[in-house]
Amino acid sequence: MCSPNIGKPQSNQPTLSLKGIVVMEVFFLVLIMTGLIVALILVCIREIKLTPEQRARRTLRRLKARGSHNYGSNSPAMICPHCQTKGTVRTEWITQKKGISGGKATSAILTGGLSLLATGLSRKEDHIEAHCNNCGMTWVI
Ligand SMILES: [Zn+2]
């Protein structure tokens, strides 16, 4: 008797182990992806928890580290309140986005959302940011 299977390797075994490897790879890939997604969510949560001031300060710090933030134009008349040097202060208008405040949220609940329609969820606040080239201090006016 000549079986047609003779001479051929048992095709089931290598296919199964190959499948096993693929399954393992997919499993690890899913594991890594899940880890990445969890990390991303954690970063997002941390981002949400930041107050607008903290976020602005951090953005500022990043910009400063990159050296692209030049603090606007020089104000020759300004005297630095930190080192009392005249003419080294640079000023720039900055807009800080303010999120919904606790007080606003409470009043929204009390008025059934009417106050929110009037004031909006987030407001933008304009500030002058000043930076002294002499002592390196940065402050918001
Ligand atoms: Zn100064």
pLDDT, tens digit, 9 for 90 and up, residues 87-129: 999 998 888 766 656 666 666 666 666 655 555 556 677 888 8
Structure confidence at residue 15 (pLDDT): 64
Q: How far is CA 118 from the centre of its chain?
A: 29
CA of 126 to the centre of ligand 1 (A): 23
Q: Which is more confident, 7 or 96? A: 96
Query: Could you tell me the distance, in angstroms and rounded to a whole number, from the CA of residue 89 to the centre of ligand 1?
Result: 7
> How far apart, in whole angstroms, are the C-alpha atoms of residue 118 and residue 100?
13
Mean pLDDT of the residues in the chain? 76
The token pair at 9 is 């390797």
Q: Flag whether pLDDT at 70 surpasses 90.
A: no
pLDDT at 35: 92
Amino acid 38: pLDDT = 93
| 91 CA → ligand 1 middle, Å | 13
Q: 68 pLDDT band (50/70/90 cuts)?
A: very low
Cα(32) to ligand 1 centroid in Å equals 49
The pLDDT-based confidence of 72 (bands split at 50, 70, 90) is: confident
- Decide: residue 132, CB within 10 A, 0-12 exposed, 13-18 middle, 19+ buried: buried
The answer on pLDDT for 135 being more than 50 is yes
Confidence of residue 27 (pLDDT cuts 50, 70, 90): very high
Could you tell me the distance, in angstroms and rounded to a whole number, from the CA of residue 80 to the centre of ligand 1?
Answer: 5
Looking at this protein, which amino acid is placed at residue 71? Y
Contact between residue 91 and residue 71 where contact means Cβ atoms under 8 Å apart:
yes
Give, as residue ranges, everything with CB less than 5 Å from ion ligand 1: 80, 82-83, 132, 134-135
